[in-house]
Structures are given as C-alpha cells and as structure tokens.
Amino acid sequence: MEYDGVRGDHAEVPTCAVRDLNPDLRTPWVFVGRILARTPIRSFSTWRGKSRLFEVYVSDEDRAIIRATVFNDGVDKFYETVVPGTICSFSAGRVKTANSAFALPNSPVELSFGADANIVQLHDNTVVFPEPVFQHTPLNDLPAQDPTVHGVIVDIGPQRPITTRKRTETHKREFLLVDDSEAEILCTAWGQTATEIDIAIKVHVILVTRGQISDYMGVRSLNIGVGSVVLHDPALSRSADLKTWFAAVAPGHQFTSLHG
C-alpha cells in the first residue's frame, strides 16, 4: 500500500503493517497508522542521567495496535506530530519484542524512536483506517476477569505516597469512573498512572485494559496497576459517544454505585 506523503528517501521502502514488523528486520521499513492515543510526557532518571519519553498507540488498516515509545530529543520533535485521530508514517526506529506483562493484547512487538527518527503526519484523504475493536465491559456488568472499561472520570482524589510490602516507594490515587450504563466504580491507580490521572481529568475519557477487580474491606474497586494500559482520550467513536452522553447528564446525577 502506498500513501500520499510517503516520499523522498522512502520512495522505494515497503510500507509495513503491524504483522510485518519483527525484531529480525534488517532492511529499512516504513509503518503507517492512525494515532489512537498518546500518553503525557514522562521524566525519569537512570545511571546515565535524566531522560524523557512518551508513548503513542497506533492502529493499522487491519485494526492491529502497536505501541511506540519516543525518547529524549524526539519528545519535543514529535509530540505535536502524533495527534490522536491523525495518520502518521514512522521510520528509522527499532522493532523489539513487547513485554507481555505491559503490552496490549495481541501486540507481540513494539517500536522505539529517538530524535533521528522520521515521523510525519500524512494528509491522504483517500485512506480510511477502520477503528480497532475493544471488547469493553459496561460498568454495570462488572465484575469481570481483567476487564476493559471505557468511561468518564467524574471525581478524583489526591495523590498519596505509598510504601509497598517490599519497601519500595510508589504513589496511589483514587477516582470515580462512570459510563452510560448509569453505573460508577471506584478506581485505584498506582505508580506512573496515579501521577498522570490529574492530567487525564482535563480530557475526562479514558480506556483501561488489563485492570483488576478488587474487593477489600467491603469496597469493590478497579485496580489500575503496572500491568494495566491506560489510553487517555482515545480517538474512538465510543469516546465521542461518551462525551456526548456525559454532556447531557444533569448536575448532581446519581449513578448506581458498584463500590458500596
């Protein structure tokens, strides 16, 4: 498949789908996909010094999803390029095997890019990328084993420092999530996700995969831990439907509580 905008040095380079990407690729490649969601910019420290990154989730014409991570100088260079809902081409990156503990379902590989990458927003109106399908569980149908939920944040608590049983330091934050099944559930976010939820509240809609239902001291909640994937305001028609629905919800509306 060829796309308007994939030109220049990549004129003779084949365009890959997610299924074509693997860590053994030794020839140049170009991947074209629709931006589904991106994370806030994250800062972290290693023995090499301070670093930054953001993650972006991209779907192809087969509805397959891949995660790409952009590091350091590439953050400022490409963050405003990968706008959710747009189509972008990606090249000059690295393909690696995804860590199954943190990957989306059916995503065996992931991509990483630095400042020397080539990430370009395309403007080809002839290409329509079908939306990926998420088998989300309506909140009123919970509990489910490791559910995928898609809802609107309506209330959020403070971030709190926590010392785990292994004596490591992390953070915890609770918030309420509702959807158009007229139910609400208490969510507990941990670690990096806890620090980012205050940003997510500005966009309201999130999609959570690989969350875990917890019952503790009579309170049912959805745990969002290090193995969960959170998509902030994903470019999905379901997100738009939730925003339209929530805009019509009357102030003070009482939802059916799942958390006691």
pLDDT at 182: 96
Is the pLDDT score of 216 beyond 50? yes
Mean pLDDT of 131-150: 88
156 close to 187: Cβ distance less than 8 angstroms: no
Pick the CATH number of 8-122 from 2.40.50.140, 3.40.228.10, 3.30.479.10, 3.90.650.10: 2.40.50.140
**Mean pLDDT in residue range 244-249:** 95
Residue extent(s) of CATH 2.40.50.140 domains in the chain: 8-122, 139-249
Q: In CATH, which of 3.30.2140.20, 2.60.120.10, 2.40.50.140, 2.60.120.330 is domain 139-249?
A: 2.40.50.140
> pLDDT at position 8, please?
43
> Before 143, cis peptide (omega within 30)?
yes
- What value does the mean pLDDT take over residues 83-87? 96
Average pLDDT over residues 110-131: 90
- pLDDT tens, 167-204? 888 999 999 999 999 999 999 999 989 988 876 676 58
pLDDT at residue 7 is higher than 50: no
Most confident of 5-9, 99-103, 222-226: 222-226
